[in-house]
Chain A
Amino acid sequence: MEKAELSDDITHTFALATDQYMVQVEEMDDEQEQLTAENTDDSNHDPIDKVGTPLREQDRFLPIANVAKIMKKAIPETGKIAKDARECVQECVSEFISFITSEASDRCYMEKRKTINGEDILYAMSSLGFDNYVEPLKIYLLKYREAAKSDKNLQPSELAFEEAADESYNTTITSRNLIAAEPGGTETVIYTYQDTNIHQFQIN
């Protein structure tokens, strides 16, 4: 019968095929290290990051040396830090990052946005009990952006500031402190706005 022959032919062709017939799963790992819900799962094996390189245990944490240095600065001069305390803090810090990220990405998801921006992070801080960080962070961010803009000539591709975020920052910054420094100048002035008065503090 025709049918049988046809299927025979097909089988025959397969058997003779010099190329191996394989099922290929496309990895979505080419789009700027994008990890989407489809290609990650909750099982316990190491998550695969770009081109099959497994994430090492230590990549989950920040370098212990950096952690130790920052801790040392925060405790009294004469204090020491035990090894297990350092490691414990190292874990806590990664936990903190995940905590903030989770909250921020939830908000993003709700608003159907794909990119977590600065605003989301600040909102997460505020809602997770770190409201006192918000103002100082805004100031740091301003300085960071200023410095980055002056480097713009060197690395234009790295500075993808979200214009929308810029807008919202300009309107929501109610910080009463502004730190201005003239590059190349020898004076540094801090302007503090108190009600409608401007107080000036000079630091040399």
Chain B
Amino acid sequence: MEEVAEVDVEDVENEKSQSTETLEVVEALASNEKPKFVRLPLTRIKHIMKMDPDCSLISQDALFLVTKSTELFLEYLAKESAKFMGMGKRKTVQKRDVDAAIDNVPSLCFLDGALE
């Protein structure tokens, strides 16, 4: 009997969506340019992290990971908000779309009530 190697479709799709950036990085490396790894200011992010009284020292890795994940989160929040804009047949993402995303998406629950 022949065993068919199963390709995990989800994995491939995840790879695709997360990899446009990775691709940019890889291409930059290939052409000997210094790749731009983050699009947010590291120092500012460190400041925000340090606002937490229990936070003392932060390793380079940790700072990078927080910065990168913040970018991913930012994209995610924008995408989810845009869905509500689409449902309202509008072309502009408005605050109410962001609010709707917070109310309806489970992983965004932590934002509920966090905004003044």
Q: Which residues of A line the B interface, CB within 8 A?
A: 32-37, 40, 42, 47, 49, 55, 59-63, 66-67, 69-71, 73-76, 78-82, 84-85, 87-89, 91-102, 104-106, 108-109, 114-118, 120-122, 125, 128-130, 132-133, 135-137, 139-141, 143-145, 147-148, 151, 158-162, 165, 176-177, 179, 181-188, 190, 194-195, 197, 203
Q: How far is the CA of A159 from the CA of B5 in the complex (A)?
A: 42
Tell me whether chain B's interface is mostly helix, strand or loop, or mixed. helix
Q: How far is the CB of A127 from chain B (nearest CB, A)?
A: 12
Q: Which residues of B line the A interface, CB within 8 A?
A: 5, 7, 11, 14-15, 18, 21-23, 25-27, 29-30, 32, 34-35, 37, 39-41, 44-45, 47-62, 64-66, 68-79, 81-82, 85-86, 91-95, 97-99, 102, 106-107, 110-111, 114-116
> Which residue of the partner chain, among B59, B71, B72, B74, contacts A89 with CB atoms under 8 Å?
B74
Q: How far is the CB of B77 from chain A (nearest CB, A)?
A: 6
Q: How far is the CB of A142 from chain B (nearest CB, A)?
A: 10
List residues of chain B with CB within 8 A of the CB of A80. 91-93
Q: How far is the CA of A102 from the CA of B114 in the complex (A)?
A: 14
Q: Is the CB of A182 within 8 A of B30?
A: yes
Q: Is the CB of A121 within 8 A of B29?
A: no
List residues of chain A with CB within 8 A of the CB of B65. 118, 121-122, 137, 141
> Which residue of the partner chain, among A85, A102, A105, A125, contacts B93 with CB atoms under 8 Å?
A85
> Which residue of the partner chain, among B5, B49, B56, contacts A197 with CB atoms under 8 Å?
B5
List residues of chain B with CB within 8 A of the CB of A98. 48-49, 51-52
